[in-house]
Structure 1
Amino acid sequence: MIRLIIALLLVGRCFSPVLAQPQATPLVGAHSQWPPYVMKDGTGLTDELVGAVFADQGIEFNMQVAPFSRAIRMLEQTKIDLIPALWGTAQRAETILFSDPYFDNQLSVITKIR
């Protein structure tokens, strides 16, 4: 009987570091459709890039597609964890924590020369 107890204690010690590891829940992001960054099924450059960064840290990332205003509400209501492509403004910075930019994007107006 003592051997069985010792064996169980040793087995428990072998697995205790694994069992002590916190189980990470997947992070969920949302963004409106914005090809090629966010496609209608949630795939795209943003999902690939952000997903790869989290995967490198052992964190699963799931992307949802929602209209922009709904994505903001979902973030405010903690129904999602992040919006992976959001321009920072002073007003948004009052309630949203921004990372350093991972992508530089500039908008331009294009017209036909007459």
Structure 2
Amino acid sequence: MIKPLLIYIVLAMGTFQVAIADPVNCYSVNISAHPNYPPFHWKEKDTIVGASIDISQKIFERLGVEVSVSYEGPWKRVLMSAKQGKIDFIPALKKTSDRQEYFLFTHNEFSINPVAIFVRKGETKVPASLEDLVGLFGSINAGDKHGDKIDSFVLKQPNMQFIHGLAQNFEMLKLGRTDYFITGFYTGYDYLKSNELSEHFKMAFKINGLKVHNGFALHYAKECNAIIKEFDKQLSLLKQKGEIEQSINDYNELWLGKYKEH
């Protein structure tokens, strides 16, 4: 009877050790974001920079939380890293029903991020609403979400293409292989301006009132609710002071200035 009992104790200890091998440290967060979504965030060398990173770091520092920012790869991989527990926090992303399955979003939004529908210049008939896009050939950046209303519309369109990267989406539009491209207003506008492509494209219409929130991965949220509540309070204070809007404007100018030099 002794040997089986010893085996049981060893197995039980082993199981217990596995359960606590990687405890969540609420005062240390790994964050990442979309690698090509200025002025909110974009890849620079081997990290991510932008207004969302700037504001998030400022808040975490106030809370005594150590921050590690990393470039994880394409947007889909960033989201998968959060699902798998490799990333604790992603700032400034759309709050959708499917993402709420693996994120706890802040109550206060980070900012308002309108969505724009871009078309080629010179078209005789310019769409003015989502209903006008039905039957046309469209594209959207693969992995992007713009809220349940737009996401639902996109999924119902049989002629929708999911293409990686702003450059590829605008190139398909320029070549006439698509009729419109749905993306964030700031992102699309900045890309066209910084690459001197405004003569080829125009914004057909813009959908306002769409918010971006900050998302805490559930593995972190379950253990660190006190930190999240304080983060939300600080986010509200910075918004009231106009610091978030100022940061977005500053990084917008930084992005445009940086890429005008090349």
Question: What is the TM-score with the length of structure 1 in the denominator?
Answer: 0.68
1:32–1:71 CA contact under 8 A, matched in 2: yes
Instruction: Tell me which of 33, 44, 49 is aligned to 1:43.
Output: 49
Residue matched to 1:17: none
Residue matched to 1:78: 85
Structure number with higher helix proportion: 2
Residue matched to 1:18: none
Alignment: residue pair count: 92
Instruction: Tell me which of 76, 98, 101 is aligned to 1:69.
Output: 76
Whole-angstrom CA distance in 2 between matches of 1:58 and 1:102: 20
Residue matched to 1:32: 34
Residue matched to 1:106: 114
Offset at residue 24 of structure 1 (A): 5.7
Question: Following TM superposition, where does structure 1 have runs of at least 4 consecutive aligned residues deviating by more than 3 angstroms?
Answer: 110-114
What CA deviation, in whole Å up to 9, does each residue of 1:50-73 have, x standing for no partner? 111111111122222231110111
Residue matched to 2:59: 53
Offset at residue 94 of structure 1 (A): 2.3
Structure 1 residue runs without a partner (length 5+): 1-22
2:92–2:110 CA contact under 8 A, matched in 1: no
Whole-angstrom CA distance in 2 between matches of 1:24 and 1:98: 16
Structure number with higher strand proportion: 2
89-98 or 72-81: which moved more? Answer: 89-98
Whole-angstrom CA distance in 2 between matches of 1:80 and 1:49: 18
Whole-angstrom CA distance in 1 between matches of 2:101 and 2:33: 20
Structure 2 residue runs without a partner (length 5+): 1-24, 125-262
Residue matched to 2:98: 91
For the aligned residue pairs, the C-alpha RMSD in angstroms reads: 2.1
AA aligned to 2:90 is I
What CA deviation, in whole Å up to 9, does each residue of 1:1-41 have, x standing for no partner? xxxxxxxxxxxxxxxxxxxxxx8652111112222221313
1:31–1:67 CA contact under 8 A, matched in 2: no
For the residue of structure 2 that corresponds to 1:85, the secondary structure is: strand
2:27–2:64 CA contact under 8 A, matched in 1: no
Offset at residue 104 of structure 1 (A): 1.2
2:41–2:50 CA contact under 8 A, matched in 1: yes
Question: What is the TM-score with the length of structure 2 in the denominator?
Answer: 0.32
27-36 or 74-83: which moved more? Answer: 27-36
Whole-angstrom CA distance in 1 between matches of 2:74 and 2:85: 16
